[in-house]
Every structure is written in C-alpha cells, then in structure tokens.
Structure 1
Amino acid sequence: MQVLKRFVYYLKPYWFLIAIISLLMVIAALVNALVPQLVRIVIDDIVYDGSYEQLNRVLFFAACILIIKAGFHWVRVKLNYKVAQFILFDLGRDLTSHLYRLSLRYYERNITGRIMARVISDVNSLQQMIVMGSSQLVEQLLTIIAVVIFIFLMNWQLSLITLVLFPILLVVVIYVSSRMRGTSKEIQKKIGEMAGVLQEAMGGIKVVKSFNRHQRELEKFTDIAQERKKLGVKRGSLIAHLETSVDFTTNITTVLILWYGGIQVMSEQLTVGELASFVTYVQLLFRPIVRMSMLNNILQSGIASLERIYEVFDEVPEVREIENPIDIKNVKGEVKFENVCFSHGTKEVLKNINLTVKPGEMVALVGPSGAGKSSLVNLIPRFYDINEGSITVDGIDIRELTIDCLRRNTGMVLQEPLLFSGTIKENLLYAKEDAKDEEIMEAAKAAHAHDFIVKLNQGYDTEIGEKGVRLSVGQKQRIALAMAILKNPKILILDEATSSLDSESENLIQKALDQLYRDRTTFVIAHRLSTIVNAHRIVVIDKGEVVAIGSHKELLQQDGLYAKLYKAQFSSCSG
C-alpha cells in the first residue's frame, strides 16, 4: 500500500535497531519450529530406550535454549517499544509542525477536536500497530515459513494434506482484512467526530448551561457514539468470522492428519514420534494464523490511522513562501494596498481596495458589521492570500517577504483575546521570549494591567487557567494589549481592542495607546467611534469597498455613511 511506503521514511533512521529486532524474530521462529522435533526425539529415541539419563540431558539442553530465547524475547520487546516511541515522536512532531504551517482556511473547515484526534488518537493507534501488529505479525509469519519447511522435509504427503485447506483460509483472510480496514477507518473517523463535538461543547460550557442545552449536546454526542458502536459490532463480527474460519480449518486438518498419519504408523511408514511431532507442527502452524487474525485487526486500525494522518500531510498550505524570500531587518512600516480583491470561497469579501498608510500614521477602519474590516487587516500578516492586486510593506510585496519577517513586525490585539494556560508572566513572554522582568512590568503598566496583576495572590506568577478563564474579559484584554506593547511591532493592528473595557479603563488605556501609536503604522477597528476621532485618517468600508476616506471632521461634513453611524451611536448613548 502507498501509505505504508510513505511510512518507511520514518523507519529509515532506525534501520539498525530494526535489523536487530528482525534477527531476534528469525531466531524465535527457528526455536519455535524446533520444539516439535524435541517431541519426536523424546518419544522415538528416549522413551522406547528407557534412558533416564539421556532424557534429563535432552530436556536440560531444551530448557537452556528456551531460557536464552526468553532473554532474546525480552531484548526484542524492549527494542520494539524503544523504536516505536522514536517513530511516534518523529511522526507526531512532523504532523504538529505541518498543522502549524497550514493556513487559517484549513482550521475554518475542520473542527478542533477532529484535528486533535489525528495528532493524539491516530498517532497513538500506530503504537499498537508497530509494537503488537507489525513485529509480532512478522514473527508469526516467519514461524509459519519455518514450520512449512520442516514438515515437508519430514513427510511431503502429510504436508500436502496439512496445506490443502490453506488456499480457502487465505481467501477468507484477504476478504475480511479488506473489509476490516474500511471499518477501522470509519471508526477512527467517528472517534474524531466525537472528540470534535465534546471539545466544542466543553469549550462553550457556559453557553450550553445558560441555554440549558446539555441534553441537546448529549444527544449529538450519543448519536455519533451510537454509529461508532455499530461499526465496533461490525468489526467484531468480522473478527468472529475470521477466528471461526481459522479454528475450523485447524480442527479439520488435525483430524485428517490423525487419519492419514495413523494409517502410515500402522503400515510402519511413520513412527509414533513423527506423528506426534506432525500434530504439534499443525498446532504450531495454525496457532500463528489465529494470532495473525487478531494482529491483523490491530494492523488494519493502524493503517486506517496512517491514512488519516497522511490526509493531513497532503493538505497544502495556501499561504506559502516563494523561493529565496526577503527578510527586511529594519522595517519602517509603510503599508500599501493596490487594487486588492479577496474572496472567501465564492463569496467576494473585498473589492478593489486602494489605500496607502505611511509609517507612524494611525488609520481607523469603520463600517457596518460584515463590511470587511477584519478581513482587510487579516491580509497584512498573510493569514490569507489575496485573489487580485498587491499589498506591499516598505514597497515590497508581502508575498516576497518571509512569513517570519512579516509577522515578527506585526502585532495584533483582537476583540476576543486568547490567553494560554499558565501564568500571566508566561503569557507576556509569549510576545517576547527574552524580555526582562523590568520590560514586562513596563509593558503591563503601559496597558494599565500592572495594578490588578500585583493585587493577585501570586502576582505575575498567578495561574490564569485555560484561555485565561480566571480573569475578567477586561483584564484579559489589557494583558493582550501589554503583549502587543512588549512585542513592539512596526505595524500594529487593534481589532476592537478596547471593546470589553469599561469607560474608565478605556480612557486610561487610550492614553497608553496614544504613546503606542507613535513611530509605528497602526490600523484600528473600533466599535466606539469616539475612540478614533483623533485618527490621522478614517477609512469607511461598506460591502467590501472603500466608500470614503478622511478625518473625523471631514467625514461628518460629507454627511455620508460615517456621519450616519456616528450620529446613530451618539443618539443611542444620549438616550
């Protein structure tokens, strides 16, 4: 299979350890194949002679061999797990790295829980395939090959009888395996869907409880779990078919050997020891097939997981760097949009945008909800690529810059700031890893976050919980603003950054922002128009187009969309 060929890439670095494991499996298979010969020797050569001394000597030798085999088995299993962990680490790291490179559109199309299932559930499923599935499958296969060679050397007629039902069994195994692989893939898919539903519900647990919709969320989860249960029962049915077929074949073959072997013993063409040895070989031949049928289930689940993992690897990032991109060391911050058009799928979001923002200039973007304001600023750090036109920074098309250069010089404060679990200090260091304590405190003071931070029990070392759940929305927003200040980018984007603050806090932060705006290009999206009246220019956007540009006073005098929005907001505040 193509997916297994691709997986070989992760095996190559550990070929030496895999070679040792393979050698130990060959030794184990040979020892297994020699055990029936021991049965023949004891019955034909020792029991009939009545030699206790020879019996003790042979069994002592056999015990020593089995002890050595047990030691080899211990080494092999240990190496197996070691190699498996190395491979899973490499695969998990590469998969996670690839996910970070994928564009935002991929995450908009896929539920977070399903993505997490690929990284965690599917990767862990491979451990069973590597440790239990592939290695033991190879050992059982080697045992079968060794047994077939031995039985043909002993008695070719009995060997043919032994293998007469083999083709039928092989057809059953191939048929069931193909169906089991598809079922296993569907089961993994359902597990991802279950994780997605659960992650979404747990992430919005307040909304679930406030609308009293826990029963609805439970039903959504249960519906998928019910489908997963049916698939599990179907897979169990396939396993039952396979095991029953193997068990029936083993028993019928044993009966045939006892019948034909008994005839040969009575006609003195075969010894009792050879017949007993042959019956033992039959058990040794079909027992691996039983185990292989079980291991095949693990293997098929692993292959299904591999297919799902490589589906992610096959996702190509929409936003990619060109060959030999440019890295500007001293960005000034001029941003220019020329005839920019942008679409989300078939929906046109921005049309023919032309705008030049000079270094140190503060530009406000205003317009109704859904006008395209956030889409416009999301194009600057290349979260998405435009369909037509160009966006330049300091005269260079952003598609010619390294993504690191572009995003290193761009800072964003969003309407709904997302903080990570950990301490306040760790979140602030996310903006600048090598920041000193003095820098962190200065940034927090500038964002008017320092006062509330020091009042917390652990100060800057206070754990804030997942997504900053232990902080108020306003506190989270001030920390997010402090992160932007600490990063000190040349291009700053504030997307409703002060919308969750009370009037007093907003007034304090507005003073800090006035300082922050200096010597950097700033784009501000604000719902409260009173906060952007001092912007150098206000760009009014409606239905994806720039409909007006000017100062606050100029736009009021034009009595256009901006004036209507401002008067409507002023009237609602007065009322």
Structure 2
Amino acid sequence: MVSALDHRYRGEHPVRTLAYLFREDRLKLVVAVVAFLLKHSPVWLLPLVTANIVDVVAGRRPVSQLWINTGVLLVLLLLNYPLHLVYVRCLHGAIRRMGTGLRSALCRRMQQLSIGYHSRVSAAVLQTKVIRDVESVEQTTQQTADTGLSALTTLVGGLAAIALRVPAAIPVFLVVVPVAALLVMHMRTRLREDNESFRREVERLSARVGEMTTLIPITRAHGLEQDALHRVDGTLTKVLRKGLRLDLLNGSFGAMAWILLNTLGVAFLAGSALIAHYRVIPLTEGDVVMLTTFFATLTSAVTSLLSLTPVINKGLASVRSIGEVLQAPDLEHNGGKEKVTEVRGEVEFRDVGFSYGDGPAITGFTLKVAPGETIALVGPSGAGKSTVLNLVIGFLRPTAGRILLDGRDMETLDLRTYRRFLSVVPQESILFEGSIRENITYGMAGVSEERVRQALRDANALEFVDRLPTGLDTVVGERGARLSGGQRQRLAIARALIRDPRVLILDEATSALDSRSEALIQQALARLVTGRTVFVVAHRLSTIRGADRIVVMRDGGIEEVGTHEELMRMRGVYAGLQSAQLA
C-alpha cells in the first residue's frame, strides 16, 4: 500500500484518497458493517418489541408472543459483545493500518524530496503532517464510522419498522424529525462560535505564559515581576469572563435543547394518542408507544449525522494537508540512472550556474578539481559558497552548465550510490538520540569495535569517550545535548573517518569552537583530508592556509584562485579579507 500510494497520489478528492487507502481492507470493512448492523439492531428493535409487548398486555394476546419478542431481544443483546469485538478488530484494525501506511508513505516521500524542498518547508510542519494530520484522519474515520453507522442504522431500521406497522406515519416522520434536528443544530452553531472564541483566548493565555517564562531572567534582572504578572492577570481575567459566558451558554443550550425535544415529544405523544382515540387511522396502544419512542430516537440519529459535518471537514482538510507532501513535485530522481561503483574524486565545474528563483546564486562557475586536492571556498556571506557545496553533494542540480564526476555528468548518475563515497562534516554536528557507537556507525552494519575506536582515536575523541561511564555505549541525548560542541564535532569527524570517503565536505567545521577544541579538531581534520578530494568552507582564513587551492568567491562568481601565498602576493580580494581578520 505504501509504495503504491507514494506513486499514485495525484491530488484527487480526499474521499477518493481514503477509499484508495482502504482498498486492501475492503472485505474487513464489509464484515465490520455487517457486525455493526447486527450488534446495533436492539437500538431500533426495542421500540418495536416494546409495542408488541404493550399490545400483548392491552389486547390480551397469547403470552407466547411476549416470550418470543423478549427472547429475540435478549439473544441480540447477548450477541452484542462478540459482534462488537469483530467490529472493532475489522474496522479499527483497518483504520490503524491505514494510518500506519499513510505515515510510512509520508516518511518515504520526505526522504525522496529534494533538499531545496526541505529548506522551504520547516521540519515542524512536516512533523505535524506525519503525527497530527494522520491522527486527525484516523479519528475522523473512526468517529464517522461509529457515529454515522449508528445513526444510519437507527434511521433505516426505525423507518422500516414504522413502514411495516404504521405506514401512514412515515410522511410525518420525514418532515418533523429533520425539522427538530435542524433546530437543535442551529442552537449548536451559536455555541460553537463561543467555544471557538474561548479557545482563542486560552491560546493567547498560553502564548502570554510562554512569553513570561522566557522573559523571567530579564524580568528578574530589571525588577519587573509585577509588570509581568499584570500582563498575565489581564489575560487571565479575559479567560475567566469568556469561560463563565461559555458555561452559561452551555447550560442554556442543554436546557433549551432538552425542553425543545421533550416538548415535541409530548406533542407527538398527544397527537398519536388523539389519532388512536378518535380512530383517525387504526393505531394500537403499542403503536402509540412505538411512534413516540421512535420520534426521540430518530431525531437524535439525524442530529448525530448533522454534527458529523465539521468532523468530516476537519478530516478531509488533513487529507489535503498530507497530500501537499505526497504530491510535491520537488523530487530527486535517481531511478534508471547509472550507479556509481567507484569514485576517484575528480570534480569539474563547467560554466555552472544555479538560481533559487529570486536571482542567480552562482554564475559562470568553472573549476577543475583533481583527485585528492583540497579546495577552500572563501568570500563574504551570500557569495555562493554553500550553494557550491550543495551542488557537489548533489542536493542541488545546476540550472546552467554541467558538473562532472570522474568525467561523467552528475545529471546521469544515481546520486544515492555516489553519496556512499562522500562524507559531510557540517558547522553544527547532527547526532541522534542513541549511543556514541550507534551515531558513529549510523547506516553501517557489522563494524568492529576496534575500527570504531580507531576512528575515534583519529578524530581526537577517544580520550573523552573512554572517560565516560559507559564508553561507546553512552547515550548522547537528543541532538547530542549531553556533549559539548567540541565533543559533538569530533564525533562527527569520527563518523566521516569510519566511512573512508573519497570526497569530503567541510562546512565551517570549526567556526563555533573555543581555541582548544579547534586545535584538537584541526589535528583530526588533517588526518581526515589525507588522500581525499576535499571542499572546505571556513570563516577563519587561518584554518585554510594549507589548502592546495583557495577559491575566492563574490556575488556567485570566482574572483581569485590560488594558494595562500599566491593570493597574498596578488594583494587582491583575499589579501583584503586576510587583513580585515587580522585587524
């Protein structure tokens, strides 16, 4: 289901999407509906059985009819338990599988979407789609099935029973019951608006409290505690007023709805009794009881159906929200392209240009990098350095020109296989909640402990790992929160070393570290770059003096290329940047 959905979703109507998601569980859904019809039948059979029993008593009919009606009802009541379990297993199981498949499809698609897409759409938004939107679809489907089936079964069964016993009453029910339900729903609409107003006020309170807790250090430092409390108290007062108003409205709605329905019920009872008394149409005592009971039951069923509208709309909106990811066209296409089985490390840019859509990020970028060469990219912010790195990784594709890897156009290569020969050490090392061993060997199987320790040793990380209570099995916390910045960065270098990459990307790998950590990491990087093609971006120019070539960029183009000594002799842009940092 997951892979098929991943390829077939094309923004069709959300109901069709849901039908497609449930296609493998169609038989189970049919069994669930049948089980529900049987288990729910006592709800609409009870008024009919009651009418039969009343007629047995009032009309002095044989007592055997009493036992037959009672027996049928008892059997159906006893069957409710096993039938309900069948219903839950079939329907709720299908819903759970649908939710799991939908989440899997979303995660699968997120892995296929380009880095450009992920840079535009925040991780929090995508997380909400995977967790909250799918949960909303599950809840909507479950609630619609439970409430909708209950209401429809009651309506159909009730109207069928009335049609069999008192067919003349059907037109009255078809008019009066919907009118009563609409009156109740009209009252609920007013209540929904006030509920929404109260919810918005509570959200404002939440934001105010969050603001207050964030500002506590500033508040204390300036002695502004009373001012902060005054701001929160004002919002608390509004929440109190809105809450009291909502409670009064809830109370008045409940009372008015109860009075309305019961008044109509009394009117229906009196009308039925008068019709029976004057023999306007032939009605028995049981018929009067049945019609009065069915009026309340069917009105409640219609009201339940009408109340599903906002629930269904919310669920369909969540399906559309999920569809925004499933039909996003910004994919990295690797299918059918040439697989990379070996990389020497020669990278050639031929008049490469790239634009994010609001102007060119780089233009006319031409550079040939030999295997094992270290290339440093320097220049002011916005010069295009990060764009060049993303082009090397394959996160971005050139909008002009070509990039060749070992003489082959990267546009023709399966970049997933190419990246097995590439490692990235970013400015901020990314670790997941797991052990040090798991973070270093991420995506690798069967790595020996000695190989892990050697990578840590080469990254100057073994000394601090061995001091930890559980060594390699120490859990680093979410995003490595239990480690210092220097320690996290050395683990990132160890993760790159253990993969023995042919192409290495270093993106401001030492920019946020103290001098001691920087010295340790520079030693580790010196081991890491040996024999590999390296692209390095560094803010501190002192860290890239040993590069084979330094490429100075400005406004998306190349200004100067050369070694540190050559560029200093040129007294150009690089020399100016160097002087500015030394000053």
Aligned to 1:386: 398
Letter in 2 for 1:87: M
Mark the CA change 1:402 to 1:253 in structure 2 (over 3 Å): closer, same or farther.
farther
Q: 1:369 aligns with which of 357, 381, 404?
A: 381
1:177·1:300 contact (CA, 8 Å) conserved in 2? no
Residue 363 of structure 1 and its aligned partner are, at CA, apart by 0.9
SS in 2 for 1:540: strand
Residue 14 of structure 1 and its aligned partner are, at CA, apart by 1.2
How many residue pairs match? The answer is 558
- In the TM superposition, 1:65-214 aligns within 5 A as 65-165=76-176, 168=179
SS in 2 for 1:380: helix
Q: 2:316 aligns with which of 292, 297, 303?
A: 303
- In the TM superposition, 1:535-550 aligns within 5 A as 535-550=547-562
Q: Structure 1 CA distance, aligned partners of 2:367 and 2:19?
A: 51
Structure-1-length-normalised TM-score? 0.84
Q: Structure 2 CA distance, aligned partners of 1:537 and 1:92?
A: 47
User: Which deviates further from its counterpart, 457-466 or 496-505?
Assistant: 496-505
Residue 178 of structure 1 and its aligned partner are, at CA, apart by 11
Aligned to 1:415: 427
The percentage of aligned residue pairs carrying the same residue is 29
1:173·1:293 contact (CA, 8 Å) conserved in 2? no
Letter in 2 for 1:4: V
Residue 494 of structure 1 and its aligned partner are, at CA, apart by 0.5
SS in 2 for 1:80: helix
Mark the CA change 1:8 to 1:243 in structure 2 (over 3 Å): closer, same or farther.
farther
Aligned to 1:292: 305
SS in 2 for 1:327: coil
SS in 2 for 1:360: coil
Aligned to 2:343: 331
User: Which deviates further from its counterpart, 383-392 or 552-561?
Assistant: 383-392
SS in 2 for 1:280: helix
User: Which deviates further from its counterpart, 95-104 or 26-35?
Assistant: 26-35
Q: 1:396 aligns with which of 408, 412, 433?
A: 408
User: Which deviates further from its counterpart, 515-524 or 23-32?
Assistant: 23-32
Residue 104 of structure 1 and its aligned partner are, at CA, apart by 2.9
Q: State yes or no: 1:350 paired with 2:362.
A: yes
Deviation readout 1:273-305 (Å, 9 max, x if unpaired): 112122222223222223334444433332232
Letter in 2 for 1:463: V
Mark the CA change 1:167 to 1:39 in structure 2 (over 3 Å): closer, same or farther.
closer
Q: Structure 1 CA distance, aligned partners of 2:124 and 2:220?
A: 20
SS in 2 for 1:165: helix
Mark the CA change 1:185 to 1:535 in structure 2 (over 3 Å): closer, same or farther.
farther
Q: State yes or no: 1:457 paired with 2:463.
A: no
Structure-2-length-normalised TM-score? 0.83
Q: 2:447 aligns with which of 418, 435, 453?
A: 435
Residue 469 of structure 1 and its aligned partner are, at CA, apart by 1.4
Q: State yes or no: 1:534 paired with 2:534.
A: no
Residue 185 of structure 1 and its aligned partner are, at CA, apart by 12
1:254·1:282 contact (CA, 8 Å) conserved in 2? no
1:122·1:188 contact (CA, 8 Å) conserved in 2? no
Q: Structure 1 CA distance, aligned partners of 2:78 and 2:519?
A: 80
Letter in 1 for 2:393: P
1:366·1:539 contact (CA, 8 Å) conserved in 2? yes
Q: Structure 2 CA distance, aligned partners of 1:100 and 1:175?
A: 47
Mark the CA change 1:165 to 1:302 in structure 2 (over 3 Å): closer, same or farther.
same
1:349·1:544 contact (CA, 8 Å) conserved in 2? yes
Deviation readout 1:367-403 (Å, 9 max, x if unpaired): 1233221221012222223322222212222222223
Aligned to 1:274: 287
Residue 311 of structure 1 and its aligned partner are, at CA, apart by 2.4
Aligned to 1:62: 73
SS in 2 for 1:527: coil
Letter in 1 for 2:126: I
Q: State yes or no: 1:566 paired with 2:578.
A: yes
Q: Structure 2 CA distance, aligned partners of 1:242 and 1:333?
A: 75
Q: Which consecutive unaligned segments of at least 5 residues does structure 1 have?
A: none
Q: Structure 2 CA distance, aligned partners of 1:183 and 1:549?
A: 67
CA RMSD, 1 decimal: 4.2
Residue 53 of structure 1 and its aligned partner are, at CA, apart by 6.6
Aligned to 2:326: 313
Letter in 2 for 1:523: F
Letter in 1 for 2:410: I
Residue 354 of structure 1 and its aligned partner are, at CA, apart by 0.6
Aligned to 1:27: 38
Deviation readout 1:441-471 (Å, 9 max, x if unpaired): 1111111001111011111111221111111
1:243·1:293 contact (CA, 8 Å) conserved in 2? no
Mark the CA change 1:301 to 1:494 in structure 2 (over 3 Å): closer, same or farther.
same
Aligned to 2:498: 486
Q: 1:473 aligns with which of 464, 485, 489?
A: 485
Q: Structure 2 CA distance, aligned partners of 1:512 and 1:554?
A: 27
